[in-house]
Amino acid sequence: MTAVQDKVVWITGASSGIGAALAEVFAEQGAHVILSGRRVEALEEVARPLGGDTCILPFEVTDYAQLPDAVDQAWQWRGRVDILINNAGVSQRSLAIDTQPEVYRDLLDIDLLAPIWLTQLQLKRMIEAGGAHIVAISSVAGRIGAPLRTAYCAAKHGLIGYMDALRSETEKLHNMRITNVLPGSVATNVSRNALTGDGTSRGQSDAVIDAGDDPSDCARAILNAVLANERELIFAKDSELALSQLRHQDPDTFFDAIADYGVQIAQEYAADSN
């Protein structure tokens, strides 16, 4: 059991959704919270009810030239970062055949390379400090190949792979804890902000997302996973949970099921586009 009281917790993508909910639940447990995102005003809105022991650290996750300075500022605030939650990300809603190469580059940059690089820039400091806990917000799409999300799935699969490999190198040697989180549908702006085939924001939500779990419930489950040092948390239910489990239990049945689902989604997507 890892208590989070008085721990320094750095949350990216903290201006809304799961990130904002994480800030609330960790602050409630007495953590010192660093809030990062692009929009200062939104971060200030999240910080206001948390009390005074927060640090607002805005930056763009793919501005790799700026990241070393952001890491320096985060570590200077309290002299350490005990828990890093790589939460910032963007989703996708487009068929592969309609998706420009630049969209793949941008999604891999945001959802895979940025959290890897932010982790790499402070990994040595964490090890020298005696260890830390890294939480990577992947997705159920990091376990299954979901239609309309080829770039997103590539990034989220890759993030799990990086974190699993990092755990193998550092868990026992350096007291590094790694938790991969695979949320299913959570009621956030993830679908509204998703990139389409030409790279523009979709601008509308999905019924399945709107009916998803409350971000606060997801955040509390993540907090509990950190407290219990869980290596993986699948926060999903119904068909999303069943498919994520079936992917390893019975791959052929899974592939048949997801292929049928892909036909349905592709047809609905084509109808909506006409």
How far apart CA 264 and CA 266 sit, in angstroms, is 6
Q: Catalytic residue at 269?
A: no
Task: List the catalytic residue out of 104, 152, 261, 269.
Answer: 152
**Which residues, at least 6 apart from 33, have a Cβ–Cβ distance to it below 8 Å?**
9, 10, 11, 23, 26, 27, 47, 50, 53, 54, 55
The two most distant CA atoms of the chain are separated, in Å, by 57
DSSP 12: S
- Among 11, 117, 126, which residue's Cα sits nearest to residue 80? 126
Concatenated DSSP letters of 212-241:
SB-HHHHHHHHHHHHHTT-SEEEE--HHHH
Catalytic residues: 152
